[in-house]
Structure 1
Amino acid sequence: MDEFGRKNNYKRYEYILVILLSINSIVNNITITSNIINQIGLFSMMLIFMVGIIFDISKFNSLSHYIYLIFLACFLVLFRFSFFSFSIASLAIAFLFIPVNNIVSIYRKIIIVQLIYGFLTSLAGLSPLKNPQTGVLTFGFVNENGIGILLAILVLTFLFTEKNGQLVFNLKWYNIVFTILITGIEVLLFNDNTAALMIVFFFLLLPLKEYFLKNRVFQLVSFLIPIGLAVFAFWVSFNYSITSATWVNKLNSLMTWRIDIWHYYLTNYPLTYFPSKLQTNNKILFGAFDGTYTYLGLFNGLIMLVIIVIGLALANIRLLLNKKFYIFAFLLCFEISGFAENIVINYYQCFALVFAILAYSKNWLKD
């Protein structure tokens, strides 16, 4: 097949992924009243798995590819083919041979579809416009912070264009206006400080580009950040009390009492190696359970937590070694925001979880 035909095949495949993941994302992220929602979510993920296998099978040409497949098979068996593990494995197969820049582009399209669908269905009365308990505008999204996170990711993706296979920073006046506007909306309309801080933190990383690309100390720090965040999340949760140090109580307040919630769950329910049957109770303390690292450990088990966190650390260092700084900056923003939000494990919102598993493939960023 000639180069033109190969590129067309990739484009068609990517559009198929956009369609299937958009369906899956809407099912997972937007409030829809239907008895067949779970079936639609499972069916769309099964299609992603099958399409990925068909697309990949002719490209497996080295021992490392088959080792990666064995790793995914062991992963599925280890977690007994749970829907979460199956979703992770399906996406890890589907995106294996897709360039990372294209993955960012695919997620941008998925986010646009989610936002349009959420706005239209909520305005039409098919999904709730506000959270009935808090009165916060949600535009149909299950998590009231969901729309804020999606807008933050969207505004960051529009700051870049692709040139010679690399994401190039493309800060124009209209990008600045759009970024300021969305940041203001995050704070004033959605009261989502985490999403706004994610945008701000991304800009703070930009002057450090050369340090991360060339300095071994910065690269080591990038590797340790997700590990450190996970350890700190559990440390502060176990050691929290009303008599904790002032800075801990201030942090708890800034995070809208998340540490208080983590402490309650971690001191009342045992940590397990594998997924537990524990369910969140929105009536406990201050509401829903947010926080990627504590959520993974409590609900998906310590082994899943270790696999994902080590995967994120590997993804950080491999992106830097392959000069993918801007995508690294995206990922680092997700990891830090994930301390307080569930963004990292929500594969229908961002690509962090996908990268965490792809990082275990020796050929990732090379194929």
Structure 2
Amino acid sequence: MAFTTDKLYKRILTFLIASDACVTNINYNHLSTLTHLSFFIVLAIFFISLLFDLFKTFIVYDYIYICFLFLLIFFTKSSFVFSAVSFALALMYISFNNVISIYTIVTIVQLIVGFITGISGITPMHDNLTNILTFGFINENPFAMLLTYLSVYLLISFNGKSFSLHWQCNKVFFLLFVICVNVFYFKDYTALFFLIFLLLVFYFKKIITKWKIVQIMIVVLPIITAWFSFWAASHYSSLSSNWLNMLDKITSGRLNIWSYYSSHYTLQLFSNLKIDDRIFNGTLDGSYIYIGFVYGIFILSVIVLGLVFANFRLLKNKQFLLLAFMISLEISGFSEALLVNMQTNFAISFALLAFFPSWIHYDGNNH
């Protein structure tokens, strides 16, 4: 009975997350009412997750954790936090292996739906500004990152205790194809850096386990990255030092945009900033900057602290591939809003689940 319930729940959850991802990430520019479906899909995820969790054995810490999530929703009154809490509840009792399986399917579904809606004319196939193929997505960046995620997911194998990368010829060929498309066609170096950081962290795990200073740097990386984002935003100008101007060029003008928001808006404890489409075409990339200005310091602090705890717990439990994935997202999230998009990766969910005492302990008994 438990197995049947778990299997059914996984299928329902996969369907709902894939539906939310397709509604949220694909560019239905003339079907704006369709985007409102996301709220109802997330609402379904929230209540179905609670119903599923009732089938599991609770201890007092589980109740305290759920109360903590409910308090986050109550105090912030943020739709973003509600979505993040819903996804965290959904993955509370899902094994790491099943998390990877779910997001692999969700990624494939997004790519297929984006391609079909693009070639059928329902969504744009090209970016209006660059004329680059976007295959139904808002621009080429989400499509490039989805290809990158998929190339990594397909390489992952699980032996019952830990994850590894299985370098089969067809999967390596697909990975090389994705790298070439990202670099030479999309000119998207974020995806390339994501892959580089992931492989470095995973294959240098022996060095990580030996050097305490490296472990500390990995654990506190989200704090460093978040702090540096706001420091760069407040110190950048057209007359900045050469290295800041160089960083601005590398990040496609991100620092210039951040500098504008830093000088025109004040960081608030709880924020509800609406991005003005007339300012830099509505662009405010960079996960930490985006969360800070749009949702406020409190939510940013909870997420960054959660990312720190997630890194610590994954490192402590020797889940190096998942740690490598998180580190890559945290670094790439400096210039892209990757962390915000919980429909395409599990970073935000893991950040909230890191506060759940039974998180990794339960996972080890639920493969």
Q: Does the 8 Å CA contact 1:60/1:66 hold for their aligned counterparts?
A: no
Residue number in structure 2 paired with 1:185:
181
* 1:8-157 alignment runs, 5 A limit: 8-32=4-28, 33-80=30-77, 82-157=78-153
Task: Note the residue ranges of structure 2 that are not aligned, 5 or more in a row.
Answer: 363-367
Residue number in structure 1 paired with 2:309:
314
Superposition deviation, residue 153 in structure 1: 0.8
Residue number in structure 2 paired with 1:327:
322
Figure out how many residues of one structure are paired with residues of the other and give that number: 361
* 1:206-285 alignment runs, 5 A limit: 206-281=202-277, 283-285=278-280
Secondary structure at the counterpart of residue 345 of structure 1 = coil
1:302 to 2:333 alignment: no
Q: Report the Cα distance in structure 1 between the residues aligned to 2:273 and 2:285, rounded to whole angstroms.
A: 17
Q: Report the Cα distance in structure 2 between the residues aligned to 1:14 and 1:280, rounded to whole angstroms.
A: 38
Q: Report the Cα distance in structure 1 between the residues aligned to 2:159 and 2:276, rounded to whole angstroms.
A: 45
Identity of aligned residues (%): 34
Secondary structure at the counterpart of residue 342 of structure 2 = coil
Q: Report the Cα distance in structure 2 between the residues aligned to 1:202 and 1:129, rounded to whole angstroms.
A: 30
What are the superposed Cα offsets for residues 18-74 of structure 1, whole Å, 9 maximum, x if unpaired?
100111111110012335324311111111111101110132421110110110011
Q: In structure 1, give the amino acid aligned to 2:44.
A: L
Q: In structure 1, give the amino acid aligned to 2:140.
A: E
Q: Report the Cα distance in structure 1 between the residues aligned to 2:184 and 2:133, rounded to whole angstroms.
A: 11
Secondary structure at the counterpart of residue 360 of structure 2 = coil
For the aligned residue pairs, the C-alpha RMSD in angstroms reads: 1.5
Superposition deviation, residue 214 in structure 1: 4.7
Q: Report the Cα distance in structure 2 between the residues aligned to 1:14 and 1:50, rounded to whole angstroms.
A: 14
Bigger drift between 29-38 and 143-152 goes to 29-38
Task: Note the residue ranges of structure 1 that are not aligned, 5 or more in a row.
Answer: none
TM-score, scaled to structure 1:
0.95
Q: Report the Cα distance in structure 2 between the residues aligned to 1:214 and 1:74, rounded to whole angstroms.
A: 39
Q: Report the Cα distance in structure 2 between the residues aligned to 1:285 and 1:295, rounded to whole angstroms.
A: 14
Q: In structure 2, give the amino acid aligned to 1:149.
A: M
Q: Report the Cα distance in structure 2 between the residues aligned to 1:184 and 1:243, rounded to whole angstroms.
A: 35
Q: In structure 2, give the amino acid aligned to 1:275.
A: S
TM-score, scaled to structure 2:
0.95
Q: Report the Cα distance in structure 2 between the residues aligned to 1:348 and 1:288, rounded to whole angstroms.
A: 20
Residue number in structure 2 paired with 1:353:
348
Residue number in structure 1 paired with 2:286:
291
Bigger drift between 6-15 and 339-348 goes to 6-15
1:172 to 2:143 alignment: no
What are the superposed Cα offsets for residues 3-31 of structure 1, whole Å, 9 maximum, x if unpaired?
xx433322221111110011111111001
Q: Report the Cα distance in structure 1 between the residues aligned to 2:197 and 2:355, rounded to whole angstroms.
A: 27
Q: Does the 8 Å CA contact 1:101/1:165 hold for their aligned counterparts?
A: no
Q: 1:73 to 1:287 in 2, by over 3 A?
A: closer
Q: In structure 2, give the amino acid aligned to 1:237.
A: A
Q: Report the Cα distance in structure 2 between the residues aligned to 1:243 and 1:76, rounded to whole angstroms.
A: 42
1:195 to 2:182 alignment: no
Q: Report the Cα distance in structure 1 between the residues aligned to 2:2 and 2:214, rounded to whole angstroms.
A: 38
Superposition deviation, residue 239 in structure 1: 0.5
Q: Report the Cα distance in structure 1 between the residues aligned to 2:283 and 2:131, rounded to whole angstroms.
A: 15
Q: Report the Cα distance in structure 1 between the residues aligned to 2:276 and 2:178, rounded to whole angstroms.
A: 31
Q: In structure 2, give the amino acid aligned to 1:44.
A: I
Q: Does the 8 Å CA contact 1:187/1:193 hold for their aligned counterparts?
A: yes
Bigger drift between 84-93 and 213-222 goes to 213-222
Q: Report the Cα distance in structure 2 between the residues aligned to 1:138 and 1:172, rounded to whole angstroms.
A: 28
Secondary structure at the counterpart of residue 163 of structure 2 = strand
Q: Does the 8 Å CA contact 1:296/1:304 hold for their aligned counterparts?
A: yes
Q: Report the Cα distance in structure 2 between the residues aligned to 1:165 and 1:207, rounded to whole angstroms.
A: 18
Q: In structure 1, give the amino acid aligned to 2:39.
A: L
Q: 1:345 to 1:103 in 2, by over 3 A?
A: same
Q: 1:287 to 1:300 in 2, by over 3 A?
A: closer
